[in-house]
Structure 1
Amino acid sequence: MSVSRILPARNIVDVDGLIRIADRAEATLAQLRQDLIKPQPTKSAPMISGSRLAQLCGMERTQLNHLCSKGIIKPGQTKGNGRKRMFTLAEARDIVQQVGKFKPRPMGVLGMVLACGNFKGGVGKTTVTVAVAQGLSLLGYSVCLVDLDPQASSTTLMGWVPDAEVLEDMTVMPVVYGDETDLMYAAKPSYWDGIDLIPSSPDLFGADYYLPNKQAGDPSFRFWEVLDVALPKLREKYDVIIIDTPPTLSYLALASFMASDGMIIPLPPETLDYASSTQFFRQFSELFKSMRDGKSVEKKFEFIKILLSKVKSSVSMTDAVKSWIKQTYPEILGTAEVPDTDLVKNAYAEFKTIYDLESYDGSQRTYDRALEAFDAVVAEIEVEVQNCWAHREQELAK
């Protein structure tokens, strides 16, 4: 006679169980949002210290204090014994534009559209996207951040909870459906002065069902132009439009690449990420080749910039992979690197970037080095933007 063996209990999850898990996850996120994120509309931009503002303006702090004392620039707020000055983000941006190294967009030249993309997740795409938007705004530029990733991480970093606060008609979907002809309706002021946000939500998954069906039913429809034709008014208003793209080769991703003047590709110096990058460029090039050969669609990027992201200086293999990347992408590899430090991780864990931090409880040197690294990344992108504007201004003058 066989004896029944006692088996471990099964943890079966049915549809109702999935719903309970989803409800719990949303409730937990909402509580974290309340405790840590301080979201829209209560999320507030950091104050900018006099030392940091002087750095952004390319001058010594004593020079900045002199300009304050003479009434040439706003004095900010003094603290303690009056030696320390703090400025609101709006004040800091005004001062950078007034006495810093800010170069305004030439008259008649449209703003640039930059796509931050990689088909592999976990490469730091959203961190780079939001940090570049914040960094450029700190240099005086007006920025529109467009979140096209249905996971909506950029939207979350900017202080929104996508499921609870972002309706479909607040995203790019009305343009995708053809209900709107330009994206100005969706650009909303954010907690960060100088950055307007077009948010995302899981509703954007619908684009990859709607667009191919529309294309199949209407041969004259050009799905790859759906975003490009909706951007002219944004290009007129903003200096830079930065798109956080979906991490897949989707219809919406293709439309965002077709609408972009430049591309930023975060790439960690890890073996698997490097291998994935070669697949990315093969798929990317074949995609545009098929568009050119099959649709007579030409595409040129003003620049493509690979940024080493999540760089772990203490890992011995990092230098080897860096050398492979330099050998493979010499003409498009940036010199600045985004470090993978506890400081950056801790900020991201609280739904912040390093630019959201007013101070750091740990080593000041660690904070300064991380800030310098992100500033260097932003400076490289600024050079590319200014160079593009200069060429376009010259072309307009002919």
Structure 2
Amino acid sequence: MTSVLPSVSLTELTQLTSRASTVIQRLRERVFSPGHEKQLNLRFNVRTAAEMVGRTEKAIRDAEGDGRLQEPDKDPETKRRTGYTLGQVNQMRDVFGTLPHRASDDPALVLAVQNFKGGVGKSTIVSHLSQFFALKGYRVCVIDCDSQASTTAMFGMNPDIDVDEEEDTLYPFLRHGGPKSLHYALRATYWPGIALIPANLGLYDAEYEFAARMAREPTFILDRLRDGVESIADQFDIILLDPPPALGMLSLSVLRAANALLIPAPPNNIDFASTAHFLKMMESTLSELAEHGGAREYNFVKIIASKMNDQKSAHLAIKRMMDAVFPQDMLQATLKDSAEIDNATANLSTVYELTGPATRTETHKRCRAYLDAVGREVELLTRKTWPSHHKALRKEGLL
């Protein structure tokens, strides 16, 4: 019996791909307009700056008066201060000795936000966590390991135009005979304190090359990314890895390169089942990989409930079950399902970048509180991995 539907040939699929590319191009033309360079427009008044720096407003004024600090710019019309930039706040931290950097003999935190399932919020967590840490004054590197390059786009780079896979991504380093370190790929971003190693679709080729070479060079393949991370780790306090949503060679390399894992898991039946399978596959995979280069240990492995909707009884029920099954392994904070995040992401932005009237709504304040709670909890876990911070943590009653 012949189908009443017309068959779809490679020609039709090619046309569909072309039309999809046209839509993507139009979206990117809107976000990445010619000559447009993404900028951070955050400004902080002296009270907020003092809170961020951990000093009094008077101390800041005195430091400006004696020349240790530069005064912020003034509006040419009103002559009023426009506020301090994040770069100026970090300069204050430097002058007052309150930068939160790890000691040189503390290990950099290499945190992979990983789940083999797509759509669980990995890139959202990576971009917001990196900016939370930057606001605190940490030195952050984000490594985009996903050929979809969502995180790269969030940081204002057009993966199709601004990123060359032969020069700017992980791809050259992962190839045999590639560069000795990852320094070539580090890109400054418009966020003070955040460097990025970008990605684009060309990174997908690494999956095939890795798979083809795995049988011949298993140790090189599995540990190449870890070697690259170690080559730049002395420059950063925190390195965030955003892996592809699949159990491929790059994902396995990320598991080997990281020394901490954060696993996003939306509290619904399908996604939670996927996360359970991910944990089982991760255990099996790590056991297998241990035979090719030693066991891998992590400073911490935490599950975060992502895309949580408190208005859905099913979400609440599954979250209670997650807390009961993983009492020591769940982050207390959750990443809420928020229109504020969705709206910011639609413009390839984050909640932390919003300015003006948009930041005075209750919706924004609630969303910011959720994100800050996640950031603070991960920050505490991070500081617990640094021996130089233990004394301060005891003094704060956190250790």
Interval containing the TM-score (normalised by the shorter chain): 0.7 to 0.9
TM-score under structure 1 normalisation? 0.86
1:214 — aligned with what?
213
Is it true that 1:67 corresponds to 2:66 in the alignment? no
Is it true that 1:46 corresponds to 2:21 in the alignment? no
- Map 1:311-350 to 2 at 5 A: 311-350=308-347
1:200-245 CA distance string (max 9 Å, x none): 11112212211121122x2565311011112223111111111101
Report the CA distance shift for 1:75/1:219 in structure 2 as closer, same or farther (over 3 A): closer
1:332-388 CA distance string (max 9 Å, x none): 211112221211110111111111211343762221221122122111221122111
Asked if 2 retains the 8 angstrom alpha-carbon contact of 1:39 and 1:158, the reply is no
Report the CA distance shift for 1:388/1:221 in structure 2 as closer, same or farther (over 3 A): closer
User: Percent of aligned positions with the same letter in both sequences?
Assistant: 27
Asked if 2 retains the 8 angstrom alpha-carbon contact of 1:111 and 1:236, the reply is yes
Q: Which moved more, 1:90-99 or 1:179-188?
A: 90-99
1:180 — aligned with what?
179
Report the CA distance shift for 1:269/1:25 in structure 2 as closer, same or farther (over 3 A): same
- CA–CA distance in structure 1, aligned partners of residues 96 and 260 of structure 2: 29
Asked if 2 retains the 8 angstrom alpha-carbon contact of 1:125 and 1:266, the reply is yes
Asked if 1 retains the 8 angstrom alpha-carbon contact of 2:359 and 2:365, the reply is no
- CA–CA distance in structure 1, aligned partners of residues 283 and 314 of structure 2: 29
Q: Which blocks of at least 5 consecutive residues in structure 1 are unaligned?
A: 1-6
- Map 1:218-237 to 2 at 5 A: 218-219=216-217, 221-237=219-235
- CA–CA distance in structure 2, aligned partners of residues 267 and 220 of structure 1: 30
2:396 — aligned with what?
none
1:166-199 CA distance string (max 9 Å, x none): 2212111111112122111111111222111111
Asked if 2 retains the 8 angstrom alpha-carbon contact of 1:136 and 1:378, the reply is yes
2:289 — aligned with what?
291
| 1:43 Cα deviation after fit | 0.7
- CA–CA distance in structure 1, aligned partners of residues 276 and 35 of structure 2: 39
TM-score under structure 2 normalisation? 0.86
Matched residue SS, 1:306: strand
- CA–CA distance in structure 2, aligned partners of residues 40 and 93 of structure 1: 28
1:367 — aligned with what?
364
- CA–CA distance in structure 1, aligned partners of residues 102 and 115 of structure 2: 28
Matched residue SS, 1:247: coil
- CA–CA distance in structure 2, aligned partners of residues 101 and 58 of structure 1: 7
Is it true that 1:126 corresponds to 2:123 in the alignment? yes
- CA–CA distance in structure 2, aligned partners of residues 123 and 83 of structure 1: 44
Report the CA distance shift for 1:341/1:392 in structure 2 as closer, same or farther (over 3 A): closer
| 1:325 Cα deviation after fit | 0.9
Asked if 1 retains the 8 angstrom alpha-carbon contact of 2:222 and 2:256, the reply is yes
Asked if 2 retains the 8 angstrom alpha-carbon contact of 1:109 and 1:393, the reply is no
1:149 to 131, 146, 150: 146
- CA–CA distance in structure 2, aligned partners of residues 231 and 285 of structure 1: 23
1:167 — aligned with what?
164
Report the CA distance shift for 1:310/1:93 in structure 2 as closer, same or farther (over 3 A): farther
Asked if 1 retains the 8 angstrom alpha-carbon contact of 2:111 and 2:240, the reply is yes
1:262-305 CA distance string (max 9 Å, x none): 1111122222221111111100111111223x336211001112
- CA–CA distance in structure 2, aligned partners of residues 252 and 367 of structure 1: 35
1:1-38 CA distance string (max 9 Å, x none): xxxxxx9985x654454444444434433433343456
- CA–CA distance in structure 2, aligned partners of residues 273 and 158 of structure 1: 27
Alignment: residue pair count: 382
- CA–CA distance in structure 2, aligned partners of residues 13 and 40 of structure 1: 41
- CA–CA distance in structure 2, aligned partners of residues 39 and 92 of structure 1: 31
1:4 — aligned with what?
none
- Map 1:265-280 to 2 at 5 A: 265-280=263-278
Q: Which moved more, 1:337-346 or 1:40-49?
A: 40-49
| 1:101 Cα deviation after fit | 5.5
Report the CA distance shift for 1:177/1:158 in structure 2 as closer, same or farther (over 3 A): same
Matched residue SS, 2:386: helix
- CA–CA distance in structure 1, aligned partners of residues 299 and 217 of structure 2: 30
Aligned partner letter, 1:310: K
Report the CA distance shift for 1:66/1:20 in structure 2 as closer, same or farther (over 3 A): farther
Report the CA distance shift for 1:58/1:18 in structure 2 as closer, same or farther (over 3 A): farther
Report the CA distance shift for 1:20/1:76 in structure 2 as closer, same or farther (over 3 A): farther
- CA–CA distance in structure 2, aligned partners of residues 121 and 102 of structure 1: 36
Asked if 2 retains the 8 angstrom alpha-carbon contact of 1:106 and 1:393, the reply is no
Q: Which blocks of at least 5 consecutive residues in structure 2 are unaligned?
A: 392-399
Asked if 2 retains the 8 angstrom alpha-carbon contact of 1:181 and 1:229, the reply is no
1:70-118 CA distance string (max 9 Å, x none): 6265443456977875222312333345558642211333422111111
- CA–CA distance in structure 2, aligned partners of residues 74 and 290 of structure 1: 56
Report the CA distance shift for 1:129/1:346 in structure 2 as closer, same or farther (over 3 A): same
| Greater share of strand | 1
Report the CA distance shift for 1:391/1:75 in structure 2 as closer, same or farther (over 3 A): closer
Matched residue SS, 1:126: helix
